[in-house]
Amino acid sequence: MNYYFNAMAETMSQDQLKTVQLRGLQRTIRNAYINNEFYRSKFDAAGVNPNDIKSLDDLPLLGFIDKNDLRDQFPLGMLCKPEEDIREMHMSSGSTGTPVAMVYDEHDLDQGAECMARCYHMAGVLQGDKVQITPTFGLFNGGFGMYHGARKAGLFVVPASSGNTARQIRLINSFKVKCLTGVVSYTMRIMEVMNEMGVTMPSLKVGIFGAETFSDKMREKIEKGLNIEAFDIYGMTETGGVGTTGMDCAAHDGIHIFEDQYIIEIIDPATGKVVPDGESGEVVFTSLNRNCIPIIRFKTGDISRIISRETCACGRTHARIDRIKGRIDDMLIVKGVNFFPKQVEQALMEIPGVLADYRIIIFENHGIKDVRIEVEAEEGVTGYTVEKKLKEVLGFSPKGDVYKPGSLPRSEGKVKRVFYQKESGELV
């Protein structure tokens, strides 16, 4: 059974979508040009006037923006509305530099909530169903984003936020929660504590997880461990938060991008040219329906590809992209081999007895970069098993160190998987 929160928007023809997109694009560009100095100077410098955008093919005239632009304009340099209209803000963690702030007026809050409500429906979570929201309620967009969407979808919200894991499990069982939402690595932690407590969570049927890449094998582990169907939800501070861009549906054949709300392009990061459908590249978003801080050709740093623009088995007409492979800056190059942490994860999770927690340590051996994998596993799994399996994926054997369950540090938010070992031994 397919459920739509907004059937008209989610199943309109690709032709209708194009009309909606052009209207949204023209409105967005006019808003940015008239009301914001940053965008006006950028378009003036490129010699583009809003009236020049007559078709979707004119998009490349607009150039790109990236995280650095949003950081340089922190906190409100990209605002296109009067400050008194702002009702809420969220902010990226800023762990890799100045944070990015995103603000919302009533309209923007409603737009984000609508997208998130579509995600709940896509997962079969409907009015009256109970949802436990485990991303933090605070500056991170995850908690409040899922909350606004749940209100719009008419759900019974258990706003647990992250942490106090044993209580999370008791809450789920006391209130018979149907849907668990969260950051992937914290979900693994909930599963681990559930096993330690020797209980199960039989009311859970659905999980909505994201904020980090997770391999198919990791998803399988979660689905088996919690006896649920897991959905992969995508979104980011810059687009307006969790779920704004899309999620995979019950067909689990890629992430539907809400194309009436955002234009997606996949580009070659080196040339900035749009690549043909099916080819991998950097995901670029343009928002079509956001007032305060619209993003116009925002280079996300995420890597994916368009899988299909055909109508999906679920009836949705919006394009589907592959689950996110990683971020461009996550790519590791060791011994001449390029790889992403997600590939290491997939290989590790295929080894029987290997558990969900692992770290990838990059170190120097006589001036040559090398890699060590630290992973938790049940008794019987040896470093050699890990090394042999990874050789199949990487073409060389990294060092494999196997630890007892519970040895590696745990995370309540996004987990850090890759560390660099300094000469002193310190990991950064």
Query: By the criterion CB under 6 A, which residues form the site for ligand DLL?
Result: 92, 135, 141-142, 183, 210-213, 232-237, 241-242, 300, 302, 324, 327
CB of 57 to ligand DLL, least distance (A): 26
Residue 228 pairs in a beta bridge with none
Instruction: Between 139 and 408, name the residue whose CB sits nearer to ligand DLL.
Output: 139
CB of 3 to ligand DLL, least distance (A): 20
Separation of alpha carbons 420 and 30, rounded Å: 45
Give yes or no for a cis peptide into 75 (omega within 30° of 0).
yes
**Alpha carbon of residue 135 to chain centroid:** 13
Give, to the nearest 10 degrees, the angle between helix 106-122 and helix 141-153: 70
For the chain, give me the number of helices (H) and strands (E)? 11, 21
Instruction: Between 142 and 207, name the residue whose CB sits nearer to ligand DLL.
Output: 142
CB of 329 to ligand DLL, least distance (A): 10
Separation of alpha carbons 177 and 117, rounded Å: 17
Query: What b-and-e string marks burial along 91-116, b requiring 16 or more CB atoms within 10 Å of the CB?
Result: bbeeeeeebbbbbbbeebbebbbbbb
Separation of alpha carbons 119 and 3, rounded Å: 10
CB of 147 to ligand DLL, least distance (A): 12
CB of 231 to ligand DLL, least distance (A): 9
Residue 361 pairs in a beta bridge with 372, 419
Instruction: Between 33 and 285, name the residue whose CB sits nearer to ligand DLL.
Output: 285
Q: Is the dihedral of CA 141, 146, 152, 158 positive or negative?
A: negative
CB 377 within 8 A of CB 351: yes
Residue 377 pairs in a beta bridge with 354
Tally Cβ neighbours within 10 Å of residue 257.
23
Instruction: Between 283 and 373, name the residue whose CB sits nearer to ligand DLL.
Output: 283
Instruction: Between 120 and 234, name the residue whose CB sits nearer to ligand DLL.
Output: 234
CB of 312 to ligand DLL, least distance (A): 18
Distance, first Cα to last Cα, the chain: 47
Separation of alpha carbons 4 and 140, rounded Å: 27
The residue of the chain with the least Cβ separation from ligand DLL equals 210
Instruction: Between 149 and 235, name the residue whose CB sits nearer to ligand DLL.
Output: 235
Instruction: Between 141 and 287, name the residue whose CB sits nearer to ligand DLL.
Output: 141
Separation of alpha carbons 195 and 4, rounded Å: 35
Instruction: Between 183 and 373, name the residue whose CB sits nearer to ligand DLL.
Output: 183
CB of 325 to ligand DLL, least distance (A): 8
CB of 335 to ligand DLL, least distance (A): 26
Tally Cβ neighbours within 10 Å of residue 373.
22
